[in-house]
Amino acid sequence: MKKFTLYLLMAFTIVLMCACSHDTLSNEDSDEASNKESKGNSVSNVPVKIPDDLFVSNKKNETISEDEMKASIKKYMDYSHVIDKEMETIVYKYEDATESDREKLNELMDQGKKNDANFNDFISNNSIPDDYKESSKTIYEFVSSIRETLTQFEEEIIGAVENGSLTDISDFASEHFTKANGRQQLKIEKFLDEKKIKTTYFDE
């Protein structure tokens, strides 16, 4: 369950990052904030990259072989994992995150959404092997539900954070993680093992 737990931590950390980005520093706090940002840059000066191996397929109304299906699932999930790792680089230093870090985080989330949309189009618009239909949908729903949650934080959660309403945050998380939970993760891992699909997605 480590992967799912990590996403929960990332989710709430991003909430805090977004909330902090809306705060206005007072004059007496400006020097302290400046020193803190400098410290963060020196300690966490890890370059964040936007990976370019996005899942893309122009196929439509075609019959997909099992080998291509396996390769497609692997590429979709591996790319999602790379995006997540780059996001973690920013999330783990959220207290020292700069405006540039937040912009990069938004870019990463946008790329993740494109990856999700492309994979969903691929499995929806083509004829895939019968024993891959349900599991491919489960994989898409698991990954995209997490992505959707993260990208909706600024729109739906910032108000709750600013008002200190933990109940609203809890309700939001419960609603958006219904398709991405520990039980679904176990189903996906079992399917991947059965089909011998090697992906880095659930790596720590």
Q: Which of 5-9, 136-140, 165-169 has the highest mean pLDDT?
A: 136-140
Residue of 95 and 24 predicted with greater confidence: 95
Q: Is residue 22's pLDDT more than 70?
A: no
What local confidence, expressed as pLDDT, does residue 119 receive?
97
The percent of residues in the chain predicted with pLDDT above 90, rounded, is 36
Question: CA 48, CA 72: separation in Å to the nearest integer?
Answer: 25
69 pLDDT exceeds 90? yes
* Among candidate residues 54, 55, 64, the one with its CA nearest the CA of residue 125: 64
Confidence class for position 29, pLDDT limits 50, 70, 90: very low
Rounded Cα–Cα distance for residues 10 and 140 (Å): 19
Mean pLDDT of 158-163: 59
User: Is the pLDDT score of 154 beyond 90?
Assistant: no
Mean pLDDT is lowest, of 7-11, 98-102, 132-136, 153-157, for 153-157
Query: Is residue 106's pLDDT more than 60?
Result: yes
pTM: 0.74
Alpha-helical regions (H) of the chain: 2-21, 27-43, 66-91, 99-124, 130-156, 158-162, 166-176, 182-194
User: Would you kindly state where each structural domain of the chain is located, as residue ranges?
Assistant: 1-10+64-204
